[in-house]
Amino acid sequence: MYLKGSKLSLNKKRHKPNGWLLFFLVVGIGLLLYFNLVVVPVMNPPFVPTPTPTRDPVSYVEEADQLAAEGKYLQAVEVYQGAINADPQNIQNYLKIARLQIYTNQLEQAKVNAQNAILLDATNSDAFALLGWAKGFQKEYLAGEVDAKKAIELDMNSGLAHAAYAYILGLRVEAGMDEIDTMDKAIEESRTAIALEPNLLEAHWARGYVLEITSNYEEAVNELEIAVGLNPYIARVYIALGRNQINTGQLDQAVFQFTKAYSLNPTDPTPNLFISRIYGMLGEWEKGIQYGTAALRDGPADPILYANLGTLYYRKGQYNQAADYLELAVRGGTNEDGVAVEGIPLSYDLTTIETYSRYGLALAKINSCSPAVTIANALLTTVADNENAVFNANEILKICEENLLNPPTATPAPTPTTATGPTATGPTATPQP
């Protein structure tokens, strides 16, 4: 029987299901599920590199500690940074890297890491001491003093805190900010630092500095020799030792210390500057100019280095060259390589007065009297209480007056001296005092 209008037959026979088809269908679904749930999650996507295992922070610290023990401070700093990146909550790594950065004159970075340590633990005395020390070296004396005093407040028995405070107070005195009371406090703090931690490098370093600025040079040498014995890898300490040996007449030993400092930090112009000055003291102008030129190569924006070379040329009698270098030191400007140099303001600092005096005298001796008279007047008005300044100013005016009355006969300028810097291994010559 059929329904009208329909093709459906109620009596039509049904086909039996295909068993093999059902089998393959079930197997296919199973494989599809296995692939999606098991295979795909463990497969690396195409063109995506396999992740590198994260390095254990402890391995960074062990490597950095070893490098620091060997005096390889710049390398150690890089590895400590790796440790910080791997474990940014470990305060000790910030303290270690900040300390090494102070040793290597990376003062801005040292401040950042000391501040990071304080963020992790605002009660850590060492963090405040290191922050204050770095600020002091950057001439932020008052801010550095606040940090050093905070370090002492947090730990009265910290030799590092007392050493930092002593050094900063000494820097203030040397900068002319304070005198007797501050100096007495610096002496007291340096003694306290050594009493608390007699084997602490910073304690003897600070004590040596305080003795230096109080003109106790022999005692300063003794303290700084102890500091070098405790840590033979800090260029700053060798420079401090050399400065004091100059004042004790140990010129050959001083050259040795500056040479050692140069080998530890060959980008710092300071060691070559001091060696240059030593040869100037001995009247060995060519050697002095050689090392002065090497110093200038490493610090082309530093007016002190131009003043040093200008002084050497002046004392050698090459007044044209002297005037050129001294002009950059006094007035500032741009050197022949396009580097900007900021002039040194006239003040009661003795070295600055000598620089201005020699500049004016050099100008007068080459009959460039208009700027020479300007310098003389500056000396007479700005530092009128200094006898040497007044004497030199009057000499400048006297020479220019004589030039006006008896104009000098023009003579060819002396042939410039070609100076070469020291070899890559640093200066090695030793003057004979």
> What are the CB-based long-range contacts (under 8 Å, 24+) for 53-59?
54/86, 55/82, 55/86, 56/86, 57/83, 57/86, 57/87, 57/90
State the Cα angle at 213 between 219 and 199, rounded to 5°. Answer: 50
Which residue stretches of 234-367 are H helix?
235-247, 251-264, 270-281, 285-298, 303-316, 319-331, 350-365
What is the per-residue pLDDT across 316-350, written as a single tens digit (0 to 9) for each? 999 999 999 999 999 999 999 999 999 999 998 89
- Give the whole-angstrom CA distance, residue 307 versus residue 322: 9
Q: What is the spatial distance between Cα 383 and Cα 353, in angstroms, rounded to a whole number?
A: 8
Q: Are 272 and 235 a contacting pair, CB within 8 Å?
A: no
Hey, which residues does 340 pair with through a beta bridge? 334
Is residue 33 classed as helix, strand or coil in its secondary structure? helix
Nearest to 261 by CA among 99, 104, 64: 104
Written as one letter, the residue type at 201 is: L
Rounded Cα gap, residues 151 and 149, in angstroms: 5
Q: What residues form DSSP beta bridges with 334?
A: 340
pLDDT for the residue 191: 98
Q: Which pLDDT score is estimated for 363?
A: 97
Quote the CA–CA distance of 429 and 421 in Å, as a whole number.
12
List, for residues 277-309, the tens digit of each pLDDT value: 999 999 999 999 999 999 999 999 999 999 999
pLDDT tens-place string over residues 164-173: 999 999 999 9
In the block, tokens 């390095």 appear at 55
User: Which residues fall within 8 angstroms of residue 235, CB to CB, at 6 or more apart?
Assistant: 103, 104, 105, 260, 261, 262, 264, 265, 268, 271
Query: What local confidence, expressed as pLDDT, does residue 54 receive?
Result: 72
Percent of the chain at pLDDT exceeding 90? 77
Under DSSP, is residue 156 helix (H, G, I), strand (E, B) or coil? coil
Neighbours of 132 (CB within 10 A): 29
Name the residue with higher pLDDT: 18 or 81.
Answer: 81
| 359, pLDDT greater than 50 | yes
- pLDDT (0 to 100) of residue 4: 40
Measured CA distances, 299 to 16, 56, 73, 304, 335 (Å): 98, 40, 22, 9, 12
- Give the lowest-confidence range in 10-19, 92-101, 123-132, 387-396: 10-19
CA–CA gap between residue 242 and residue 137 (Å, rounded): 19
| Summary mean pLDDT of the chain | 87
Output the CA torsion 191→193→194→195 (10° steps).
80
Query: 48: how many CB neighbours lie within 10 A of its CB?
Result: 7
Give the confidence band of 147 by pLDDT, cuts at 50, 70, 90.
very high
| Paired residues of 9 in beta bridges | 2
The first and second tokens of residue 140, run together, are 């932020």
Residue 60 main-chain phi, psi, to 5 deg: -60, -50
Which token pair is 128?
């405040």
